[in-house]
Amino acid sequence: MEKLVSLALNPRLRTLGDGSTVGVCLILIMDNQKKQNRSFLLTRREVEEYAAFYIKKYGLNTDQAEALMSVSNLFTGGGHVHLIHGAFGSGKSSTVAVIIEFLVQLFKESDRRSVQQGWKILISSATNVAVDRVLEGLLEHGFKDFVRVGSAPEISKRVLPYSVRATGRRKGELRKLERMLKRAKKPSEKQYLKEAIQKHGINRRKLLYARVVGATCATCGESSLMKGMIFPVLILDEASQLTEPATLIPMKFGCEKLVLVGDTKQLNPIIQGSAASNGNGLEQTMFDRLMAMGHETTMLHTQYRCHPRISAMASTLFYGGLLKDGVSEKDREPLMKSCPPLCFIDVSKGQEARDRLDSIYNKEEEAFVASLLKKLLSEGLKPAQIGVITPFRSQVAKIKKILLASSINEPSKISAVQISTVDAFQGGEKDVIILSFVKTNNTAFIDCKKRTNVALTRAKHHLLLVGQKQNLERNPMFKEVIFYCGSDVVNASQFMRTFQQQKTSEAEKSPSQKQGFSSCGMQQSRYTDSSKSLILKAEQQSPSNVYSENITDKGPQGTFLPVVQAWCDTHSPGDGAFKEPPCHVPMRSLSRPRIIDENIFSDSDTESSDNEDLPAF
């Protein structure tokens, strides 16, 4: 704390930013770099060839490749900070996992040539989910040289075997793991917990030499085990959700190179007792400030989550029409023939009300959403495929109550459906999303662009919007949202009636007669035309050079990417410099990122070689 106070009074702040925490951040980085005097002994050409290998191995798209090269440029071309701005579903966490694996290989080679050891990476974020998502990505690549520091109940089951308690109280943590093992039901969970118990002591020792450590910002501030450790490289995921003071906490471990990853178009950190309109308060993040100051930023433009019709709407409303689709309509075919990918359902008779805690709910929408959810489950959808989002906690609680009361025989099936607020759903995705707007008197609170962006971009196949059309159309943003639904704007009773009629008629038809219709009786081919027109509109609004494949024209500071592209073009999988990895390393393209389900992993993994299939020098 004394160090931060002295930094705040440092006259260098006048020349290093706006006199805010950005100046403190930059001074900390430069002071750490001067004090450590750490060497990086790979040439630029060697770094380029390693980069080309990883770009080709994981099938990175142009933007992802540029992000990897820009981060490597911090070590070969100078600089201290790089920002990665990724839209929804653009593979931010997956890209970070590849960057970490790439950097670790560079550090091993550099340290091999030097008497000085110590290039290590700290991956941190505001939430346990964000940290674990990156570490799970590393595990999927066969990379295990990391330790997760935190509390066992808060850590992903898949990551638990690589974890250690933040406070260092070994006996208490082991008892906690044993209790979790007794309560575990899934075989995969039991296996992970058994492995975590067996490796607990090993992980404590491994923490001292592991190349990568993952911990939340809060853990970084309180962990006794991490005291005195040095992490020259800090990667902050979901940095657009971190307050500036929280961003400074993990920087205390000797940060020399800082990479921030986030999306300024999604939700800022939530500050209690602070008006959302106060953009210059704690809601403004260091990510925002550094972008505004012109620090080098790589934008990930390609989204791989939403149906093109949904993404065209979000791209135009929130990203200036700059986004591209990495998935086609064929990739996001309807899961229910009676449902279009984007639909607005008008619950015109609903009225908002307040509970005793002053949270807002809407009885008509509650009942309709509960009924719709049961219909979707009866169509054969699995509970884990569906999510229900609403801006208000009271609405969440009441929808859950209705569902549990009406599903006494199958409570576990209903409880598997994720029902939560928009803020809690950030970073998540589902095949089908039902969004309940709740409000009928005005659009206060729900008319936040960033919150609306999050709400509208969680669905992969179907986005079903439920609200009072008359009220929402008074707001220009929601009027546009409803406009993008096109002909798929119906009242609640009509939707349910058409849904049921379509189900009945489909059952009566022969397989050769079955064709898809929307909830309004529109042929399936109509949504394709509508989707194409929306995408064309978004592209027409975009600068002509947005989608140019400039990887062959110009890289970071006009240097790296032409060489990397040339290497990729001339080294096919058949020649000596690039080989197909062994079968235990999944060859999954990062162009198709997905949320990692702990159940897809096998119970045992094979350790991968440190220098597997890398360019030889």
Q: Which of 15-29, 55-69, 545-559, 560-574 has the lowest mean pLDDT?
A: 545-559
Choosing from 482, 499, 516, the residue where a domain stops is 499
What values do phi and psi take at 226, rounded to 5? -90, -5
Q: In the listed set 499, 521, 542, which residue is the last one of a domain according to the structure?
A: 499
Q: What is the DSSP letter of 358?
A: S
Q: Write down which residue in 449, 471, 499 finishes a domain.
A: 499
Residue 332 to residue 339: CA distance in whole angstroms: 13
Whether 535 is covered by a domain: the verdict is: no
The average pLDDT across 453-473 equals 96
With cut-offs at 50, 70 and 90, classify the pLDDT of residue 272: low
User: What is residue 365's predicted lDDT score, i.e. its pLDDT?
Assistant: 96
Helix (H, G, I), strand (E, B) or coil at 354: strand
183 pLDDT higher than 70 = yes
Q: Are residue 125 and residue 23 in the same domain, yes or no?
A: yes
The answer on 351 and 229 residing in a single domain is no
Q: Are residues 263 and 343 in the same domain?
A: no
Are 224 and 354 found together in one domain?
no
Least confident of 23-32, 37-46, 592-601: 592-601
* pLDDT reported for residue 65: 97
- Which of 8-22, 47-61, 265-279 bottoms out in mean pLDDT, i.e. has the lowest? 8-22
- Contact, 233 vs 119, CB < 8 A? yes
Residues 519 and 498: beta-carbon distance below 8 Å? yes
Closest CA to 95 of 106, 83, 107: 83
Domain containing 355 — which CATH number?
3.40.50.300
Q: 6, 72, 37, 33: which is closest to 251 by C-alpha? A: 33
Helix (H, G, I), strand (E, B) or coil at 214: strand
The residue ranking higher by pLDDT, 246 or 511, is 246
Residue 543: which residues within 8 A CB-CB, separation 6 or more? 322
Identify whether the C-beta of residue 488 lies closer than 8 Å to the C-beta of residue 501: no
For the record, the structure tokens of 384 come out as 């884990």
Mean pLDDT across the chain = 79
Structure tokens given for 233: 């490289």
CA 327 – CA 304 distance, rounded (Å): 5
User: Residue 357 has what DSSP assignment?
Assistant: T
CA dihedral 97, 101, 107, 108 (to 10 degrees): 150
The answer on pLDDT for 573 being more than 90 is no
Q: How confident is the model at residue 224 (pLDDT cuts 50, 70, 90)?
A: confident
Higher pLDDT, 543 or 374: 374
In a domain, 596, yes or no: no
Lowest mean pLDDT among 33-37, 187-191, 530-534, 606-610: 606-610
pTM of the model: 0.79
Q: How far apart are alpha carbons 587 and 262 in whole angstroms?
A: 26
Domain co-membership, 292 together with 349: no
Residue 563 lies in a domain: no
Residue 336 lies in a domain: yes
Query: Which residues does 505 contact at the CB level (< 8 Å), separation at least 6?
Result: none
Quick one: pLDDT at residue 220?
93
Q: How far apart are CA 240 and CA 267, in angstroms?
A: 7
Q: Are the beta carbons of 123 and 138 closer than 8 angstroms? A: no
556 membership: H or E segment, kind and range: none
In angstroms, rounded to a whole number, what is the distance separating the alpha carbons of residues 55 and 66?
A: 10
Clarify whether residues 392 and 253 are in a common domain.
no
pLDDT score for 116: 67
Q: Determine, yes or no, domain membership for 239.
A: yes
Are 292 and 357 in the same domain? no
For residue 517, what pLDDT is reported?
34
For residues 379 and 24, give the distance between their C-alpha atoms in angstroms, rounded to a whole number: 56
Specify the amino acid at residue 462.
H
Residues 6 or more apart from 104 whose CB is under 8 A from it?
A: 121, 143, 145, 211, 212
Query: Does residue 238 belong to any structural domain of this protein?
Result: yes
Pairing mode, strands 360-362 and 352-354: antiparallel
Retrieve residue 395's tokens: 């609405």
Residues 98 and 219 in one domain: yes
258 and 333 in a single domain? The answer is: no
Quick one: 32 and 133 in the same domain? yes
In this structure, the answer to whether residues 223 and 106 fall within a common structural domain is yes
> What is the token pair recorded at 586?
């999944």
Per-residue confidence at 516, pLDDT binned at 50, 70, 90? Answer: very low
Looking at the structure of the chain, the number of domains it has is 2
What are φ and ψ of residue 491, in 5° steps? -85, 165
Cβ pair 258, 80 in contact under 8 A? yes
pLDDT tens-digit readout, 477-488: 999 999 999 999
Helix (H, G, I), strand (E, B) or coil at 175: helix
Q: How many residues does the chain have?
A: 617
Q: What is the pLDDT of residue 266?
A: 92
464 located within any domain = yes
Asked whether residue 538 is domain-assigned, the answer is no
Q: Tell me how far CA of residue 283 lies from CA of 80, 277, 551, in angstroms.
A: 24, 9, 35
Pair (227, 289) in one structural domain: yes
Q: Please give the backbone phi and psi of residue 324, each rounded to the nearest 5 degrees, phi first.
A: -115, 160
Q: Report pLDDT for 329.
A: 95
Give dist(CA 64, CA 86) in Å, integer. 10
The average pLDDT across 228-249 equals 92
Boundaries of domain holding 414:
329-499
